[in-house]
């Protein structure tokens, strides 16, 4: 019998994880992956177009994470559930259903999650983690920094902005630190955790993994990376945080678009977004997990960005 893995939540990260899971089989059981989201067939069709063997993909199942009854058909018989759900109560529903079917749960959160934060996104991420562990004590939580790769929503977005804006803005000097992590390395970590290996399962049970790449950059330095690999010349202009908050007050009320910025996003730029220097008792090293089990080092932005940003000459 094959190992049945449900990826709940599609998009950039979910599709890369699904692709990684279908590309390798470990132990005695091959893997079959099911994509679940509101419109999962789009992701499934895209994966097949990218060369994923359709036989490794189970039929896509539409679900509404706010309605637990829609999860039951998708989760029935699952061995592993990978939850990319961003809504707190939806994440709780996924965790309960994973527990009901006896599946291993991998839940995605974010670096910097804090139950006492004044920023709703940061606070709800922490509260969701707490709920997940209360429901599934043996779950594994992954907290990524900025995730990059072809199709990402960070470097690609600023590459597009650099086409239209006469400068690239940063707030407060752009000194907050980030540790961008390659989407392929995140996918490799999930593939390792889902291996049909009791020792790995036991080692990962109840653990939090802060996922960051091999490089740490300030926000300003990341804007330099965008300009370097798009081969464009633009000044990088620092704006006061107060200006950013005023912009957010206006722009967050408008339909989401390329220029959207929210007050919460500006507030987050006041804090670093990097892996903790010391691991707590329930934390596990992302670098060790990936490099020890694949004998391949984590990818640097310098390895990957040129492949998808360096596609146009300076206009």
State how many domains the chain has.
Answer: 1
* CA atoms of 82 and 105, how far apart (whole Å): 6
Q: 172-193: per-residue pLDDT in tens?
A: 999 999 999 999 999 999 999 9
Mean model confidence pLDDT for the chain = 92
Which two three-digit tokens encode residue 42?
């789009």
Q: Is residue 121 part of a domain?
A: yes
User: Is there a contact between 148 and 211 (Cβ–Cβ < 8 Å)?
Assistant: no
- 101 within a domain of the structure (yes/no): yes
Q: Give, for 162, the enclosing helix (H) or strand (E).
A: helix 155-164
CA atoms of 3 and 5, how far apart (whole Å): 6
Instruction: For the chain, give the number of residues.
Output: 315
Residue 60 falls inside a structural domain: yes
Q: Could you tell me if residue 115 is inside a domain?
A: yes
pLDDT at 38: 87
For the segment 138-149, what is each residue's pLDDT rounded down to a tens digit? 999 999 999 999
Q: What's the token pair of residue 74?
A: 């998708």
CATH number for the domain that contains residue 116: 3.40.50.720
Q: What is the pLDDT of residues 242-299, one digit of tens each?
A: 999 999 999 999 898 888 999 999 999 999 999 998 778 899 999 999 999 988 999 9
Range of the domain at 64: 3-150+181-212+274-298
Residue 163 lies in a domain: no
Q: Does residue 220 lie in a domain region?
A: no
**Average pLDDT of the residues in 1-25:** 86
Tell me, yes or no, whether 304 lies in a domain. no
pTM of the model: 0.94
- Residue the block writes with tokens 């990936």: 290
Least Cα distance to 208 among 292, 304, 95, 130 occurs for: 130
DSSP 279-309: --TTEEEHHHHHHHHHS-PPPPHHHHHHHHH
* Kind of pairing between the strands at 177-178 and 217-218: antiparallel
Please check whether residue 115 is in contact with residue 126, taking contact to mean a CB–CB distance below 8 angstroms: yes
Q: Is the pLDDT of residue 28 over 90?
A: no
Determine the Cα–Cα distance for residues 96 and 135; give it in Å rounded to an integer. Answer: 6
**What letter does residue 166 receive in the DSSP assignment?**
S
CB atoms within 10 A of CB 133: 18
Does residue 14 belong to any structural domain of this protein?
A: yes
pLDDT score of 314: 42
Give the pLDDT of residue 11.
86
89, 135 Cβ separation under 8 angstroms = no
Q: Read out DSSP for 225-264?
A: HHHHHHT----EEEE-HHHHHHHHHHHTTSPP-TT---HH
Q: What pLDDT is recorded for position 315?
A: 44
54-63-202-130 Cα dihedral, nearest 10 degrees: 150
């Amino acid at each position: 019998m094959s190992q049945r893995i449900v990826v709940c939540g599609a998009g950039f990260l979910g599709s890369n994880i699904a692709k990684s899971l279908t590309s390798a089989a470990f132990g005695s059981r091959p893997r079959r992956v099911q994509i679940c989201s509101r419109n999962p067939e789009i992701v499934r069709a895209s994966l097949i177009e990218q060369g994923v063997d359709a036989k490794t993909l189970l039929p896509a199942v539409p679900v509404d994470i706010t309605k637990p009854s829609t999860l039951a058909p998708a989760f029935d018989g699952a061995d592993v559930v990978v939850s990319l759900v961003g809504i707190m109560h939806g994440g709780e529903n996924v965790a309960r259903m994973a527990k009901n079917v006896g599946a291993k749960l991998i839940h995605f959160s974010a670096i910097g999650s804090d139950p006492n934060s004044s920023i709703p996104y940061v606070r709800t991420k922490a509260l969701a983690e707490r709920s997940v562990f209360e429901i599934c004590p043996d779950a594994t939580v992954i907290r990524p920094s900025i995730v990059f790769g072809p199709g990402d929503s960070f470097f690609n977005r600023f590459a597009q902005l650099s086409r239209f804006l006469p400068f690239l803005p940063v707030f407060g000097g752009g000194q907050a630190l980030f540790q961008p992590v390659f989407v392929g390395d995140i996918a490799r970590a999930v593939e390792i955790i889902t291996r049909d290996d009791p020792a790995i399962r036991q080692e990962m049970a109840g653990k939090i993994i802060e996922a960051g790449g091999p490089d740490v950059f300030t926000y300003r330095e990341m804007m330099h990376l965008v300009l370097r690999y798009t081969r464009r010349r633009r000044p990088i202009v620092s704006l006061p945080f107060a200006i950013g908050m005023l912009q957010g007050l206006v722009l967050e009320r408008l339909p989401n678009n390329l220029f959207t910025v929210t007050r919460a996003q500006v507030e987050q730029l006041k804090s670093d977004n990097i892996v903790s220097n010391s691991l707590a008792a329930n934390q596990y090293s992302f670098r060790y997990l990936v490099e020890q089990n694949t004998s391949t080092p984590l990818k640097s932005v310098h390895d990957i960005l040129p492949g998808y940003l360096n596609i146009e000459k300076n206009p």
